Amino acid sequence: MKPAGIMGIVLIAIGIIMLAYGGYATFTTKENVAKLGPLEINKHEEHPVPIGPIVGGVLIVGGIVLLVSGNRNS
Number of domains, the chain: 1
DSSP assignment letter at 22: T
pLDDT tens column, 44-71: 999 888 777 888 889 999 999 998 887 7
Any bridge partners for residue 47, and if so which? 27
Range of the domain at 46: 3-70
A 10 A CB-CB count for 48 gives 11
pLDDT for 73 equals: 63
Any bridge partners for residue 43, and if so which? 31
Distance, in Å, from the CA atom of 73 to the CA atom of 2, rounded to the nearest integer, reads 11
Which helix (H) or strand (E) segment is 51 a member of?
none
pLDDT tens column, 11-45: 999 999 888 877 677 889 999 999 998 999 999 99
Contact in structure between 4 and 63 (CB atoms under 8 Å): no
pTM for the full model? 0.61
